[in-house]
Amino acid sequence: MNKFRNVPTVIDGHRFPSKAEANRYAHLKLLVRAGEIKDLKLQPKCALRVNGELIGNYIGDFEYIETNTNTAVLEDVKGMATPIFKWKAKHLKAQYGIDVRIVK
């Protein structure tokens, strides 16, 4: 168990750091089967740069396309948004114009 009391959970050979994230993955798989989303990716990584210099990475939980609107979605499952997460999400928005969808 970690400091946020998350319980690691394995589904389909993927180890998720929390039951909430594992449950979200299971739900997203159902949405893929129903045709509501497509191109589901786990742990999408985006480089965070300032003046061309790599200062870190944002690693989301899930990325997919909503089929009815053809909209790309970047998701993060959070029980609590930490200060570093908030900073990285702001940087991601400023650099790429991407909003992170938080799922509780």
- Produce one character per residue of 35-71: b if its CB has 16 or more CB atoms within 10 Å, e if not: eebeeeebeeebebeeeeeeeeebebbbbbeeeeeee
Please give the model's pTM, rounded to 2 decimal places.
0.88
> pLDDT tens digit string along 31-58?
999 999 999 999 999 999 999 999 999 9
Q: What pLDDT, on a 0 to 100 scale, did the predictor assign at position 5?
A: 75
**Contact, 74 vs 101, CB < 8 A?**
yes
The pLDDT-based confidence of 74 (bands split at 50, 70, 90) is very high
**Contact, 57 vs 63, CB < 8 A?**
no
> pLDDT tens digit string along 75-101?
999 988 899 999 999 999 999 999 999
The pLDDT-based confidence of 1 (bands split at 50, 70, 90) is very low
Euclidean distance between CA atoms 41 and 55, whole angstroms: 24
